[in-house]
Structure 1
Amino acid sequence: MTGNPALLDLVGRTPLARVTTPLPLPHPGFWAKVECLGAGGMKARAAVSMLRAAKAKGALRPGSTVVESTSGTLGLGLAFAGQALGHPVVLVVDEELEPSMRALLRAHGARLEIVAEPHAVGGWQQARRQRVREVLDTVPGAYWPDQYNNPDNPAGYAGLAAELLARLDRIDVLVCSVGTGGHSAGVVRALRERDPGVRLIGVDTVGSTIFGQPARPRVMRGLGSSIHPRNVAYEQFDEVHWVGPVEVVDACRRLARGTFVTGGWSTGAVALVAAWAARVTPGAEVATIFPDGPHRYLDTIFDDAFCRSRGLLGTPTGWPVEVADPAAVAVSEWSRCRVVADPARQAVPV
């Protein structure tokens, strides 16, 4: 497969939007990096970083196939990076991936392997990862980036941090969705090199295990996890928020009506929490990253019938519930906790 290195010039340099739309309450405003307007989306940054590093280390040979699990966004980034660097891409997805995203990934040349059943414990993520290993055994010389544990994933977001610093005189609070842990770790480390006082707020989904909650079925895709990715930099977070789909649907729709710039689950989630952060810290410069755009969610978040059938329409209060211990209660609505620890390293009771 012949690469097209000129595509790499299209990565990054995405616009920065000022958001003042009530979400759902009025707030002073925050800055949002609109990553869906970059070629390959936000995760093209991570995909290019991982493949370039693997090539430099000799782990990815010229023309070899790249195999990875994805809920959609990284898949788009890998399809982009594969074209740019000359590598076929096989993406392991699951039955819940939207038909529009499946079509888009195939249009960009990716081959899809579709998992039909979630893993009994690790859900769709674990089922996809098991299929990745099976595919690797059938494709000689294939390379698995392992986005959840690959340090070259967060390293790919140094450029995003530099773009923020070039536009903003200061950033007091950074709000990031957390899935693989890549962009939150990569961006905050670079920001704190200039200002160690930057606060980092992580945004997760109810039902995700990342920050110590029990695993439960999740409506939202693109943030959250049923496993514990090593790229999550727990020590960097000042607090974590879990949000529910009703709050996020409301935020996405308000953004669409009032800011025009909107997106999917991750975008709505960080917008809700960034607006809250701006409201409770007057005078602070709050920044966030909108990872995706709205188009793959037209049949879900922005579809009245879909949302009504699942009870996703409603108006949130605008305030999170305070939780003292992430392991003490299973949250079902927007909640906030100022205790952040790696659940995989917690002592197991005897």
Structure 2
Amino acid sequence: MTPSDTVDTHPHIADALKRPDLVRLSDGMVLLRFESMKIYSALAAVRQLLDRGTVRTGQTLIDSSSGIYAYALALACHRYRLRCHIVASTTVDATTLAQLEILGATVEQVRPSKNLKLDQELRVRRVREILAERPDVHWMRQYHDDIHYLGYQEVADLVTKALPDRTLTVVGGVGSGASTGGLVQHLRRRDPGVRLVGVQPFGSVTFGSQDHHDPEAIIAGIGSSIPFDNVRHRLYDAVHWMDFTHAMSGAVALLREHAVFAGLSTGAAYLTATYESRRHPDRLHLVIGADTGHRYVERVYARHREAVDLAALKPAEVGSPEEMSMPWSTMAWNRAAWPSRRAEARA
């Protein structure tokens, strides 16, 4: 093996899994494909807490999760010899649950509920009960503690190095706010002109779609029924709201056209970027692929015959959240604050 053929070794599997791949989808679109994106966030947050002395080796870290963050936190705890406790959503799949338990995390799932709001409220309530019983446990607060922004500095550096000469638009699910917000916040330190397009499901309070009911329920990982402090509305240039069928169609098209097997939020981002790249052909659209498609096999990919041709889909362009309509709407957000909440001066 010559020196040019050498391969870096990693001290832990989490350090290998966190690194994304850049996949060219078209002249105006590149996929930032992760095995599991929140590993960056969890590793950096836990390392910072240890360095500050906020937590110590052997201590228990706790959070609630619908799956992807739970896996990331379990890996980070395994990496740094900490204990992990997850209050899990009923939507956590059997594959993820088995991995969490084998990694050493203790997992408890809240009782089944008919809507996401109740599910999230039950999880937060249970976390608070545990903290009251065990004051030595540290709550990671992935939705509210901006320590989760730290890890995306490294992702921004990778993107800047790989795509140095293109004007970027980042497209991804909003979710907790830390992934799209963290990445773009770091990218804008070099280029303030980087655009951010956030994707939301109907039924989420984050950008005002809570009064719209999608019978297929909120798309995991990109919406919320409760406010998240880590969402900095001033970072977003545009927002797209879409239903499950549109997101599913995007995921199926991504696999069919580019052989990329990705999660449902990636499908929603791909459909959004397809539309945005037609409107802004001068920009390179970076699609965030937060996870793989394995936990969506039964719900999404087994139903691929129901997917709609993307060429037949077009959003309604609206001037305010009150004007949105299903199944797909878009709005120029123009880096505005969320009107009913405090101004986000940190952005």
Normalised-by-shorter TM-score class? 0.7 to 0.9
Q: Deviations over 1:177-230 (max 9, x none)?
A: 111000111111111111111111111111111012225562421110111111
Letter in structure 1 aligned against 2:236: F
Q: Distance in 1 between matches of 2:114 and 2:146?
A: 26
Question: Is the 1:61–1:141 Cα contact (8 Å) retained in structure 2?
Answer: no
- Structure 1 residue 246: Cα displacement: 0.5
Q: Which residue of 1 aligns with 2:182?
A: 186
Letter in structure 1 aligned against 2:122: A
Q: Distance in 1 between matches of 2:242 and 2:43?
A: 30
Question: Is the 2:30–2:286 Cα contact (8 Å) retained in structure 1?
Answer: yes
Q: Distance in 2 between matches of 1:42 and 1:196?
A: 24
Q: Distance in 1 between matches of 2:67 and 2:269?
A: 18
- Does 1:321 pair with 2:316? yes
Residue among 59, 68, 89 paired with 2:63 = 68
Residue among 20, 40, 43 paired with 1:45 = 40
Residue among 167, 175, 193 paired with 1:197 = 193
- For the residue of structure 2 that corresponds to 1:91, the secondary structure is strand
Q: Which residue of 2 aligns with 1:31?
A: 30
- Does 1:104 pair with 2:99? yes
Question: Is the 2:28–2:283 Cα contact (8 Å) retained in structure 1?
Answer: no
Q: Deviations over 1:232-258 (max 9, x none)?
A: 111111111111111111111111122
Alignment coverage as a number of residue pairs = 327
Q: Distance in 1 between matches of 2:339 and 2:161?
A: 36
- For the residue of structure 2 that corresponds to 1:189, the secondary structure is helix
Question: Is the 1:209–1:227 Cα contact (8 Å) retained in structure 2?
Answer: yes
Question: Is the 2:87–2:127 Cα contact (8 Å) retained in structure 1?
Answer: yes
Question: Is the 2:57–2:82 Cα contact (8 Å) retained in structure 1?
Answer: yes
Q: Deviations over 1:324-349 (max 9, x none)?
A: 111x14632111011354254289xx
Structure 2 residue runs without a partner (length 5+)? 1-9
Q: Which residue of 2 aligns with 1:272?
A: 271
Q: Distance in 2 between matches of 1:247 and 1:33?
A: 20
Q: Deviations over 1:255-285 (max 9, x none)?
A: 1122111312211111111111111111311
Aligned-residue sequence identity (percent) comes to 31
Q: Which residue of 1 aligns with 2:7?
A: none
Q: Distance in 1 between matches of 2:116 and 2:79?
A: 37
Report the CA distance shift for 1:120/1:29 in structure 2 as closer, same or farther (over 3 A): closer
- Judge which range, 256-265 or 131-140, deviates more: 131-140
Report the CA distance shift for 1:98/1:224 in structure 2 as closer, same or farther (over 3 A): same
Q: Distance in 1 between matches of 2:73 and 2:291?
A: 15
Q: Distance in 1 between matches of 2:284 and 2:219?
A: 28
Residue among 89, 111, 117 paired with 1:116 = 111
- For the residue of structure 2 that corresponds to 1:68, the secondary structure is strand
Matches within 5 A, 1:146-185: 146-169=141-164, 170-185=166-181
Letter in structure 2 aligned against 1:252: A
- Structure 1 residue 139: Cα displacement: 3.5
Question: Is the 2:64–2:89 Cα contact (8 Å) retained in structure 1?
Answer: no
Letter in structure 2 aligned against 1:334: W
Q: Distance in 1 between matches of 2:173 and 2:102?
A: 28
Question: Is the 2:174–2:200 Cα contact (8 Å) retained in structure 1?
Answer: yes
Q: Distance in 1 between matches of 2:98 and 2:66?
A: 14
Q: Which residue of 2 aligns with 1:23?
A: none
Question: Is the 1:29–1:275 Cα contact (8 Å) retained in structure 2?
Answer: no
Residue among 17, 29, 33 paired with 2:23 = 17
- For the residue of structure 2 that corresponds to 1:224, the secondary structure is coil
Report the CA distance shift for 1:5/1:166 in structure 2 as closer, same or farther (over 3 A): same
Question: Is the 2:83–2:105 Cα contact (8 Å) retained in structure 1?
Answer: yes
Matches within 5 A, 1:190-339: 190-214=186-210, 216=213, 218-304=217-303, 313-315=307-309, 317-326=312-321, 328-329=322-323, 331-339=325-333
TM-score by length of 2: 0.87
Q: Distance in 2 between matches of 1:219 and 1:273?
A: 17
Q: Distance in 1 between matches of 2:177 and 2:340?
A: 15
Runs of 4+ in 1 over 6 A off after TM superposition: none
Q: Distance in 2 between matches of 1:242 and 1:107?
A: 37
Q: Distance in 1 between matches of 2:249 and 2:297?
A: 14
Question: Is the 1:32–1:288 Cα contact (8 Å) retained in structure 2?
Answer: yes
Letter in structure 2 aligned against 1:153: H
Q: Which residue of 2 aligns with 1:81?
A: 76
- Structure 1 residue 8: Cα displacement: 5.4
Q: Distance in 1 between matches of 2:285 and 2:117?
A: 34
- Structure 1 residue 314: Cα displacement: 3.7
Q: Distance in 2 between matches of 1:146 and 1:343?
A: 24
Q: Deviations over 1:99-133 (max 9, x none)?
A: 23222322332211100144989332222111111
Structure 1 residue runs without a partner (length 5+)? 21-27
Report the CA distance shift for 1:119/1:333 in structure 2 as closer, same or farther (over 3 A): closer
